[in-house]
Amino acid sequence: MKKLFQYIIFVIIIGGSVFYLFTKYSGVDEGEQAPDFEATLVDGTPFKLSDLEGGYVLLDFWGSWCPPCRKENPKLVKLHQKYSDRLTIVTIALEKDSLSWKKAVKKDGFLWKNQIVNQNRYVMLSSIARKYGVSEIPAKFLISPEGKLLGKLSFKEIDNLFSVTSNY
């Protein structure tokens, strides 16, 4: 009985340690350099975030299975239509399978090139999401032309930012 108890305690400690390593916050704070990452776009093209420096970038973490994400997608499409000349949208879909993603993208009207599907439905297991400290979706991060994180901004805040800068 004593050995069983020791074994259970050992498993709990090891399991907790592994969980901590997967979920610990490794995000970046506003004003810091946005963490660079490499991935493959859905069309097979290699992608590196730092290649987009020089223009504004919006990272959007979402999932086809996520009702709040799907509710925001029409706003994301409108933002792309309105500011595609000044804002590059990069969507990172956290998916269990790509079939659901394909249906959602088609229905929601995602037409931009920079789309990444991370086939792992759990946010805490996505290496890209961990770099940004994402623990739930939807999550959006605006990055400056210099590669600095401007923060997690709402659609209204992003629209206001671009409306102000278009007057100059």
pTM: 0.80
Distance between CA atoms of 73 and 37, rounded to whole angstroms?
23
- State the average pLDDT for the chain: 85
Residue range of the domain that includes 102 = 28-165
DSSP tag of 35 = P
% of the chain at pLDDT higher than 70: 83
Is residue 17 one of the residues assigned to a domain?
no
Q: Check residue 11 and give its pLDDT.
A: 65
15 lies in some domain: no
Residue 140 falls inside a structural domain:
yes
Structural domain count of the chain: 1
Name the residue with higher pLDDT: 82 or 12.
82
Contacting residues for 75 by C-beta, under 8 A, at least 6 apart: 155
68 in any annotated domain: yes
Q: Could you report the per-residue pLDDT of 92-125, keeping only the tens digit for each?
A: 999 988 888 999 999 999 999 999 998 876 666 7
Report the CATH number that the domain containing residue 35 is assigned in CATH. Answer: 3.40.30.10
Mean pLDDT on 15-34: 59
Judge whether 132 lies within some domain: yes
Please indicate, yes or no, if residue 75 is contained in any of the structural domains.
Answer: yes
Please give the pLDDT value at position 166. 56
- pLDDT, residue 161, reads 83
The span from the CA of 61 to the CA of 57, in Å, is 13
Residue range 30-43: mean pLDDT, rounded: 91
Rounded to 10 deg, the angle between the 67-83 and 155-165 helix axes is: 10
In a domain, 14, yes or no: no
Q: Is residue 102 part of a domain?
A: yes
Q: What is the per-residue pLDDT for 96?
A: 85
